[in-house]
Amino acid sequence: MDIERWLMERVSYYLETPVGEIDPGVSLAEYGLESVYAFALCGDIEDTWGVTVEPTLVWDVDTVAALTVHLAGLVADLPSA
């Protein structure tokens, strides 16, 4: 699964904005992502990717591009099944 594509789709869902209108380099705060949705996105990350993230992750790493890099690093560190 492509991490950036997945993140773009989740952000698009929460913002109620078409994926094509979201720039991965723009802060999610600039798009007006509300904190309840930021926390929900962190839950989605944990459920989908099997990693534990802090609920403030979306504010600390606040663009889709930066989240992609961060999440890819976390997923790469998971033990192989």
Is the pTM above the cut of 0.85? yes
DSSP, res 77:
T
- Which residues are within 8 A (CB) of 38 and not within 5 positions of it... i.e. 6 or more apart? 28, 55, 58, 59
pLDDT in tens, 19-32: 999 999 999 999 99
Low-confidence ranges of the chain (pLDDT < 70): 80-81
Domains of the chain by start residue, with CATH: 3-76 (1.10.1200.10)
